[in-house]
Amino acid sequence: MTTIGVEEEYLLLDPATGLPVPRAKEVRAAAGLGSLVNDEEVQHELLQAQVEVATPVCDTLEEAGGHLLRLRHAVAVAAEEHGCRLAACGTSPLRRARPVAVTDEARYRAMVEQAPQLVAEQLVNGMHVHVAVPDQEAGVQALNRIRLWLPALTAMSANSPLWDGHDTGFRSWRTVVFSRWPVSGMPPPFEDAADYERRVKRLADAGLIADTGQLYWQARLSQRYPTIEVRCSDVQLGADEAVMLAGIIRALVVTALSEADGAVPALDHDPELLQAAMWHAARHGLGDTLVDPGGTLKPAGEVLHKLLSHVSRALDSAGDTRQVTALVDRLLRDGTGADRQRAALADGGLQAVTDLISVRSTVP
């Protein structure tokens, strides 16, 4: 079984105003006091109004989902103990007039010096899925083959339509915000693992990135784990939606590895087409069309069904077909997190949005 791990980033919001609050240190400490969470599972992020959770290495989707529910509950309880709410949204619906302070680490302080406005606007939260690969060479070959599907994953995961109290017109505004960093957006194709390492080293040697953590491609090789890290998804409203995406991403990587082993040529498109496809996915989500692997615009539902067909053998092998297809059907029926945020805004304003995106504990 190919293992997976999931990371989720959340905001801490004032329950009355919906504004981000810098209480990450206190919330992390409180979450780690119980027996259900260890220090490595709840981590700090760039800004003091953000926290991140990371599951252990998981064999099954059920295992990943159980860990996400456990971690969401623990951090939500800790947030409530400190007078705030844990929010699962790709962007903060509101921002304070003054930027939220960064976490007090040398790396983050250096980022403020380099790009203060970009850091100030990093109130964005993603979901990262790690999928195990045999080695870097296999990882690079898989990266080359999943590129075409990253816009579809972005559209499926769209959960960030709001910014500064209004609708941006994008389903995933987080994708746009993140695209402004020097090394971001769609990953380029690589000849092999040596080519990947050479090009990353050239960026570092030129002083354009401080470390490999600043490779903000939508998918990359992890430097900490023997995995591909797929980073294009907004954090999801519900843990089950995160599980759906994790299952599809694992199946995509497994399919790509199988194709590479069989010497199946990797399909590709011009970089400008793929970049525009990602922008289009961030703009429309599943509400319009998507660029299919053939490079043409098709109805979003048709592209998703093509995606499921592409990974069907890997889903079957993992025993994930029924769960993933049911969740995709629900997604097409009920809409993305962005669609639900827009509906909440129309029905009850920003307070209704805050209620929707809040991860609630079950503690009385």
Tell me, yes or no, whether 41 lies in a domain.
yes
Tell me, yes or no, whether 185 lies in a domain.
yes
Give CA–CA dist 152/284, Å, rounded: 11
What integer pLDDT is reported at residue 59 of this predicted model? 98
3-state secondary structure of 349: helix
What integer pLDDT is reported at residue 345 of this predicted model? 98
Domain with residue 236: its CATH number is 3.30.590.20
Give CA–CA dist 301/332, Å, rounded: 7
Tell me, yes or no, whether 281 lies in a domain.
yes
Give the global pTM: 0.96
The predicted-structure confidence for 225-260, as pLDDT tens digits, reads as follows 999 999 999 999 999 999 999 999 999 999 999 999
Give the helix ranges, DSSP H, for the chain.
24-31, 61-81, 106-114, 116-120, 136-146, 150-157, 173-178, 193-205, 239-261, 271-284, 300-310, 312-318, 321-334, 337-357
Tell me, yes or no, whether 171 lies in a domain.
yes
Range of the domain at 85: 4-359
- DSSP code string of 310-329: HTHHHHHHHT-HHHHHHHHH
Residue 28: both structure tokens together: 């992390």
- CA angle (219, 223, 225) in 5-degree steps: 95
Residue ranges in the chain modelled with pLDDT below 50: 363-364
Q: In sequence order, which residues have a C-beta less than 8 Å from that of residue 182 and are 6 or more positions away? A: 208, 209, 214
Tell me, yes or no, whether 140 lies in a domain.
yes
What integer pLDDT is reported at residue 34 of this predicted model? 61
- Residue 265 phi/psi, 5-degree rounding, is -60, 140
Tell me, yes or no, whether 364 lies in a domain.
no
Q: In the chain, how many domains are there?
A: 1
Give CA–CA dist 61/284, Å, rounded: 28
Residue 283: both structure tokens together: 């703009």
76: exposed, middle or buried (C-beta count within 10 Å: 0-12, 13-18, 19+)?
Answer: buried
Give CA–CA dist 237/260, Å, rounded: 34
Tell me, yes or no, whether 227 lies in a domain.
yes
Give CA–CA dist 137/196, Å, rounded: 9
What integer pLDDT is reported at residue 146 of this predicted model? 97
What integer pLDDT is reported at residue 364 of this predicted model? 39
Residue 219, beta-bridge partner list: 230
Q: In sequence order, which residues have a C-beta less than 8 Å from that of residue 354 and are 6 or more positions away? A: 13, 15, 18, 85, 87, 93
**Count H helices, E strands: the chain?**
14, 14
**318 neighbors 310 (Cβ within 8 angstroms):** no
